[in-house]
Amino acid sequence: MSQPKPQTRHFLTLLDFTPAELAALIDRAIEMKREHLAGVDQRRFPAKVMAMVFEKSSTRTRVSFEAGMAQLGGHAVFLSPRDSQLGRGEPVSDSGRVISSMVDIVMIRTFAHAIIEEFAAHSSVPVINALTDDYHPCQLLADIQTFVEHRGSIAGKSVAWVGDGNNMCHSYINAARQFDFELRIACPEGFEPMAQLLNANADRVRIVRDPAAAVAGADLVATDVWASMGQEDEQKAREKAFAGYQVNGELMSRAAPGALYMHCLPAHRDEEISAELMDSPESVIWEEAENRLHAQKALIEMLLQSAAG
């Protein structure tokens, strides 16, 4: 049985790639999108197989990875805890060893970030983080691609995060570091991102409680649901805590002229974001979702090529 190799590359957070690698990945995603839309045959990885492990629900992530593998000439295998031994207590380390011995690449959506780290430590093939409680790096690839397509480089720009200090916010903090932008976070007290991450990026990331102050002059405003998967019981309490944190036309009027706004989706319309903004012809939210496909195909290509040596 294959053993984990020390040189196996994984994508568990944005920090697993260098800023230069991330910039190249975004360029490649834009190029692959163009190819795809022009009908170019992209089946460069025939017979390559991806295992997709989903311990939480998904629409975008599942469809984009599965369609992406098919477009690249490979195949994807969907696994959920309900109908695999993952749900019956087989250790993550054993699952990592076994699954990775049969496929070429693995994508995991799970709860604790430590689970994906443990899986990766026992995997002989690249592992991609498709969302944990702490990070959602694939979404940031799509968000940055979308910004670059519309406004050019995000380096030196100012970005406002309005809402929960959650997995998306954490990945925005990592993105600020890797793509070199300033990030202002507007969140209510008690809903801050991880202190360790904030402290490590204090040169470019700060908490600005007031959404209007955080958004003032921003080139990009991003938000996400107030209660993430696994926090459904807190929905009502969070609606109260986050009152006043909605991204809407009034808030966007304080941003820089031509500022973009993003939401990873799924959204609660008229809660964290107004339906008016979502339905506006100016919205790039739908392209942001589509770009998951293109950005992740570039990611798969990069990881499969790195595995091939």
Residue 3 designated active-site: no
Choose from ligand CP, ligand NVA, none: what does 166 bind? Cβ within 5-8 Å by kind. Answer: ligand NVA
Choose from ligand CP, ligand NVA, none: what does 59 bind? Cβ within 5-8 Å by kind. Answer: ligand CP
Looking at beta carbons only, is 252 or 264 nearer to ligand NVA? 264
CA distance 41 to 94: 37
The contact mask relative to ligand NVA for 162-201 (x = CB under 6 A, - = no) is ----xxx---------------------------------
139 near ligand CP, judged by CB under 6 A:
yes
264 near ligand CP, judged by CB under 6 A:
yes
Select from 134, 224, 272, 301 the one that contacts ligand NVA (CB under 6 A).
Answer: 224
146 near ligand CP, judged by CB under 6 A:
no
Restricting to residues 104-163, name those near ligand NVA by CB under 6 A.
131, 136
**Which one of 28, 97, 136, 177 is the catalytic residue?**
136
Choose from ligand NVA, ligand CP, none: what does 51 bind? Cβ within 5-8 Å by kind. Answer: none
> Active-site residues: which are they?
109, 136, 139, 224, 264, 292
The binding site for ligand CP (CB under 6 A) comprises: 58-61, 131, 139, 264-266
